Structure 1
Amino acid sequence: MAVSKTNDRVGAIETRGIEPVPDHERHGQASQMFWTWFAANISILGLPLGATLVAFRGLNIWQAVLVAVVGAFGSFALVGALSLAGKKGGAPALTLSRAVFGQRGNAGPTLITWLSRVGWETISTTTAAYALLALLNTAFGVGRNTVLTLVCLLVFIICTLLISGLGHATIMWINKWATIVFGVLNLIVMGFLVATVDWSKVLDAAAGPTSGVIAGVGFVAAGTGIGWANAGADYARYLPRTIPGRRLITASAFGAGIPLVLLISLGSLLSAGDPTLATASDPVAAINAMLPSWMAIPYLIAAFGGLLMSNHLSTYSAGLTMITLGLRVPRAAAVALDVVVMFAGGIYLMLIADDFYGPFSTFLTLLAVPISAWIGVIAVDSLRGRTYDSAALMDTTRTSRYWYSGGFRLPAVLGWAIAIVAGLLFTKASTSTTDVWFAGPLSDTWFGVNGLGWAISMVVGGLIYALFGRRTGSAAGSADGSTSPTLERAGR
C-alpha cells in the first residue's frame, strides 16, 4: 500500500496527531535521525555550555574536549536507544509512556516533559531574538528598544510555527538541507573565532580536578541528550520496523555528537582565553564582539538559522506532548498554543529578567532530575521487551488495558516519584559558590559535588521499577499491525 500523502508530505500540514502510525504509512531511513539530531545541535547554545566548563567547572581545554565527547556522544546514544520505542509502537514518546505509567499516571512525566520543551524553546527564542537585534543593528544601524525586541521575538516564533505547524515530513526535509547550509556557515564562523583565541592562556591553563570532569560530563549530558531523550520516539515513529535498532543509535549519537563536540570545544577555547563569555548577559553579542566586523552578518545569520533548526523540533514535540496531556485540538493548533507560551517566556527573559545564564544553567540542572527518573523506568521497561497495543494507547477510559489500578501503574509512578526525590537530595543548581538557586541536603557529598543527582535519579527509578514492576501489558498489539512479536524481533 502506498505511503499516505495526507499525513506525511513535504509542504502539507501533517494531520496525524499522537495516534500510532500504521505499517503501511511507515517510510524513511535511519539516516533521518542523523540529520534530525545534527539540526537540533548546530545552534550557538553549545558555545555557552563549553564556556561554563572552563569558567564554572575549572577545566582546561583537553578536559573540556573529553567531557564534550563523552557527554554528547553518550547521551545521544541513549536518545537513539529510547527512540526505538517510536519505531516499535509508532507513537510519540510520551504517548507510548502511557503503557508504562498508566493513563493517569503518565500525566506527571508528560507535564515535566512539556515544561522541559517550553524551557528550551524559550531559551532558543531569546537567543535568536538577540541575534536578530544584533543583525539589524549591524546591517542597518537600528538600535535596540522594547518594540523592536518584541518584533524580533515574533519573527523567530513565526518562522518556528511555519515549520513545526507543517509537521514531520517538512521537518525531515528541512533538517537535511538547512543543516548543510547553516553547518557550513557555522564552520566558517568557528574558523574566525579560533583565530581570536589567546593560545598562551589556553595552553598554560592548569588541569581541573577529576570531580570537575565528572560534573562536566553530567552537565553536558543534562544539557544535550538528556533533554532530548523524551522526544526521540517522536521522530522515529514513521520509520519502518525492519530498520535495525543499532543504526538508529549510531545515527543519533554521531548526528548530535559531531556538532556538539565542535561547538562545546570552541566555547571552552574562547572562555579559556576570555572568561567574559561565561558571564555575558547577551551571549550573541559577546561572541559577535570577538569577530571582525565584516563577519558579523554571516555569523548572525548562522546563529539565527541554527537556533531555528533546534527550536522547530522542540516545538513539534511540545505540541504532541500537549495533546498527550489531554488537549483536544489538532496537532497544528497545539503547536500554535505552545508558541504563545514561548513568546511570553521570551518577553520575561529579554525585558524583565536580569540574568541569562542563571536561568539557563539552573533550568538544565533541575529538569534533568525528573527526566532522568523517567528514562530509568522506561529503559528497564524497554529491556523487558515491551510491545504496544495501539487501541489501548488511545483509550483513556477505564476499559483500556493500560488503565491498571485507577489509571496508575504504581511501580512505575512510585519509582519515578521516589527517584526524583532521591536525585534532588544530591542536586545543587548554582552559577557560583555564592549564587545558589537550589541545594539538596546531600548536595555537598561526593555525588552531589560531582553533579550526579540526575544519574542517581535514573538509577533509582530503574531499580525500583525493576524490583516491583511485574511484566504486564506487553503482549502483542492490535490487528492494525501496530505490534507483533515477530516484527519486534525483526526490528531489533
Structure 2
Amino acid sequence: MDDKIIKVPEADKTLTPGKLFYNWFAANIGIMGFVYGAIIVSYHLSFMQAIAASLVGALSFLVPGWVAMVGQREGITTFKLSRAAYGTYGNKIPNAIAWFNMVGWLAVNIITGTLLLTSLFRVIHVQKNTLTTAIALIIFGGLVLLSGLLKEATLAKIQTWLSWIFGVLTAVILVIFLMKANWQEALDLPSGSWITGFLPAVSIVAAGSGISWSMAAADWGAYVKPNTKPAATFWNTTMGGAVPLFVLMAGGVLLSTIEPKLATTGNPFDVMYSALPSWIGVIYFLVAAGGIIPQCIVSLRSARINLSTIGINVSQRTSLTIHGLIVILIPVYVLFISGNFLSNFEIFLNFLGICLASWVAIFLCDSVMFRKNGYDTKLVDPQSSTHYNWGGIISWLIATITGFLFTNNAVWTGPFAHGIFANNSLGVFISAILAIICMFVVKLIKGGQREKVA
C-alpha cells in the first residue's frame, strides 16, 4: 500500500471476524508453540503452574486485540498510527525494531527448519553431525530462496493447506501425549517460585507471541469490514492467536513428562521426534518444515519494505543479499558455534521483549490519553511537520534502557540484575510498567490536551 495514502480505502476493507480469527490462528499454529512449552518447563514450575503460565502467556494476545481495534477504528496500519506517538522521524525507532523483529524471526525459522530436517534424517539412518547439519541448512535455505519465485497467491494457498494439515496432525499428537504422559509424576512436581519462575516464564512467552505480534495487529485490523463491531475484532484477534498457542504450549508441557530432558536440551525437536511414533513424526515434521517456508518468504519481503520506511532504499537483489547473509550467518552461529537453540532463542526473546513491551505500552497509552476523539491525519502523514514527538521517544528510551539495566543473560549483565531480577526476563515487565508511568508524566506535563501539529 502506498505510504502517501493514509487510510485504507473502504473497498479494501474486506476482512470478516471469521477470516480475522483464521488469519491469526494459522499464524500461530506452528511448531514453535511446543518450544515455548519447553521454555516454560525450564523454569522449574509445577505442572499446574506451567499450564497457568501457558494460559497467561497466551492471553498476551489481548494486546494485539486492542491494537487491532485501534487499527479498525482509524482505518490506518500500525506504523502509520505510531507516527502520532513518536513523530515522523522518531517513528523510525519502532520501524527499526520491526526490521530487527522480522530478520530475527526469519533466522529463527530457518534454524527451526534446519533442525527439523536433521531430525528427519534419522528416517534414512543418517547420523547428526556437522556435515549433515550443514546439508540440512543448505537444503532448507535453498528451498526458502527458490520459494521466493512463487507468487503471493500461491504461497497463501500452500500456507492454508499446510495449516489445516498441521492442525489435524497436532490434534492427533496431543492425544498421543495425553495417553503417554506420566500424570502422577506431573502432578507431583514441586511448585516453583511465582516471582522468579512463573512471571519470567510468562514474560518470555508474551515477548515472542502477543507483544511481538502487536506490531502487525493494526495492519490486519485496518482491513476489517466497517460494519464489524469493535468487540468482534478484539476477540477474534485475541482468541485466534491465543487458542492455538495455549494448546501447543500445553502440549509442550505434557511432552516434558514423557521426555524430562526437553527442558535442558539444545535441540527440542530431536526430543520431540523421539517421543513420537516414527510414522507420524515423519509426516508431522515434513508439514511443519513446509509451513515455515512461506512464513520465511513473507518475512523477507516485509523486511525489505520496512527498510524503505526507515529511509534505506535498496534494490530487490541488494535486499536479498543483505538479508540472505544475515539470516544465514545467524543460523551458522547457533547451529555450529553455540550449538544451543533454546538458549539463544531465549536471549533473542528477552532483548526483543524489552524493546517491544515499552513500544506497545507507549503506543496504547498515547492512543488512550491523546487520541480519544480519533487520530489527526496530519500527525500520521509522512509529510507531517511534527518530526519528533519527544514525549513518546523519551518515554521509550527511559523504559527500554531501564529494562536492560534489570536484565542479565549469557551476553549481557545489567548492573541491577540481582536478587529476584537475576537470570530471568523480568526486565520485560519493568520496561512495560515504566513506559506507562512515563506516559502518565507526559500526560501531566501536557495537561491532557490534544497535541497540536507543529
TM-score in terms of structure 1 length: 0.80
Q: Is residue 196–residue 291 contact of structure 1 (8 Å, CA) maintained in 2?
A: no
CA distance in structure 2 between the aligned counterparts of 1:352 and 1:153, rounded to whole angstroms: 19
Aligned with 1:52 (options 28, 34, 39): 39
CA distance in 2, matches of 1:243, 1:334: 38
Verify: 1:342 aligned to 2:327, yes or no: yes
Deviation at 1:44, TM superposition (A): 1.8
Q: CA deviation at 1:49?
A: 1.6
How high is the sequence identity, in percent, across the aligned residues? 28
Give the equivalent residue in structure 2 for 1:299: 284
Q: CA deviation at 1:336?
A: 8.3
**2:212 paired with 1:227:** yes
Contact 1:78–1:249 at 8 Å: present in 2 too? no
Deviations 1:135-185 (A, max 9, x none): 35525859753652343232442376467x72xx77766665442221112
| Residue 416 (1) aligns with residue 396 (2) | yes
Match of 1:62 in 2: 48
Partner of 1:427: 407
Query: Offset of 1:64 from its aligned partner?
Result: 1.0
Residue in structure 2 matched with residue 466 of structure 1 by the alignment: 440
CA–CA distance in structure 1, aligned partners of residues 328 and 55 of structure 2: 33
Deviation string, structure 1 residues 226-275 (Cα, Å, up to 9, x no partner): 12111212233322343222212211221122211111112112224433
Counterparts of 1:17 and 1:188, CA distance in 2: 45
Please give the secondary structure, in 2, of the residue aligned with 1:408: coil
Measured at CA, do residues 382 and 114 of structure 1 come closer, stay the same or move farther in structure 2, by a change above 3 Å?
same
2:386 is the counterpart of 1:375 = no
The unaligned stretches of length 5 or more in structure 1 are 1-14, 430-435, 476-492
Name the CA shift for 1:359/1:141 in 2 (closer, same or farther; >3 Å): closer
- Aligned equivalent of 1:96: 81
Task: Say if 1:315 and 1:474 are closer, same or farther in 2 by CA, change over 3 A.
Answer: farther
Whether 2:177 is the aligned partner of 1:197: answer no
The 8 Å contact of residues 118 and 133 in structure 2, kept in 1 or not, is answered as no
Please list, as runs of the form range in 1=range in 2, the aligned pairs for 1:326-337 lying within 5 A after superposition.
326-328=311-313
- Pick the aligned partner of 1:243 from 228, 231, 244: 228
Name the stretch that deviates more: 300-309 or 107-116: 300-309
1:274 is the counterpart of 2:259? yes
CA-to-aligned-CA distance 1:277-297 (integer Å, 9 cap, x gap)? 223232222211112222221
Render the CA deviation track for 1:287-331: whole Å, top value 9, x for unaligned.
111122222211212321443465456445434422321233689
1:385 corresponding residue in structure 2: 371
AA partner of residue 53 (structure 2): V
With 169-178 and 58-67 compared, the bigger mean Cα shift is at 169-178
- Farther off after superposition, 251-260 or 19-28: 19-28
Paired AA for residue 360 in structure 1:
F
Describe the superposition over 1:87-136 as per-residue Cα deviations: whole angstroms up to 9, x where unpaired: 24444422321222112111222212211221122111111122134335
From 119, 124, 130, the equivalent of 2:104 is 119
Q: Could you tell me how far apart the structure 2 residues matched to 1:422 and 1:198 are?
A: 42
Consecutive unaligned residues in structure 2, runs of 5 or more = none
Once the two structures are superposed, residues 397-439 of structure 1 have per-residue CA deviations (whole angstroms, 9 ceiling, x without a partner) of: xxx33x32xx21111100110111222232233xxxxxx4333
Kindly indicate whether the alpha-carbon contact (under 8 Å) linking 1:201 and 1:273 is maintained by their aligned counterparts in 2. no
145, 149, 160: which one aligns with 2:132: 145
Partner amino acid, structure 2, of 1:184 = V
Letter matched to residue 50 of structure 2: A
Q: CA RMSD in A?
A: 3.2
Q: Which residue of 2 aligns with 1:208?
A: 192
**Shift in Å, 1:62:** 1.3
Deviation at 1:359, TM superposition (A): 1.1
C-alpha distance in 1, partners of 2:281/2:314? Answer: 42
Change (3 A) 1:451 1:392: closer
Query: Which of the numbers 36, 61, 67 marks the counterpart of 1:76?
Result: 61
Instruction: Please say if residues 419 and 460 of structure 1, whose CA atoms lie closer than 8 Å, have aligned partners that are also in contact.
Output: yes
The one-letter code matched in structure 2 to 1:183 is: G
1:482 corresponds in structure 2 to: none
Q: Evaluate the alpha carbon distance shift between residue 16 and residue 283 of structure 1 in structure 2; reply closer, same or farther with a 3 A threshold.
A: farther
Per-residue Cα deviation, 1:317-353 (whole angstroms, up to 9, x for no partner): 4344223212336899968864553334333333343
User: Are 1:186 and 2:158 counterparts?
Assistant: no
Q: Report if the CA contact (8 A) 1:83-1:233 is conserved.
A: yes
TM-score, normalised by the number of residues in structure 2: 0.86
Residues 5-49 of structure 1: CA deviation (Å, up to 9, x unaligned): xxxxxxxxxx75685422232212122331222122212212222
Q: Is the 8 A contact 1:133 1:149 kept in 2?
A: yes
The 3-state SS of whatever aligns with 1:187 is helix
1:5 corresponds to: none
Partner of 2:93: 108
Quickly say closer, same or farther: Cα 1:35–1:154, change in 2 above 3 A: same
Letter of the 1:415 counterpart: S
Q: Would the aligned equivalents of 1:281 and 1:357 in 2 still touch at CA under 8 Å? A: yes
Q: Report deviation, 1:201.
A: 2.4
Corresponding residue for 1:131? Answer: 116
CA pair 19-316 structure 1, distance change in 2 beyond 3 A: farther
Taking a change above 3 Å as real, the CA distance of residues 147 and 223 of structure 1, as seen in their structure-2 partners, is: closer
Cα 1:465–1:156 shift into 2, 3 Å: farther
How far did residue 86 of structure 1 move?
2.9
Count matched residues. 443
Question: Which sits farther off after the overlay, 64-73 or 201-210?
Answer: 201-210
User: Match of 1:254, as an amino acid?
Assistant: M
Residue 484 of structure 1 corresponds to: none
Aligned-partner residue type, residue 101 of structure 2: S
| Shift in CA distance, 208/306, structure 1 to aligned 2, threshold 3 Å | farther
In the alignment, the residues of structure 1 paired with residue 366 and residue 442 of structure 2 have an alpha-carbon distance, to the nearest angstrom, of 12
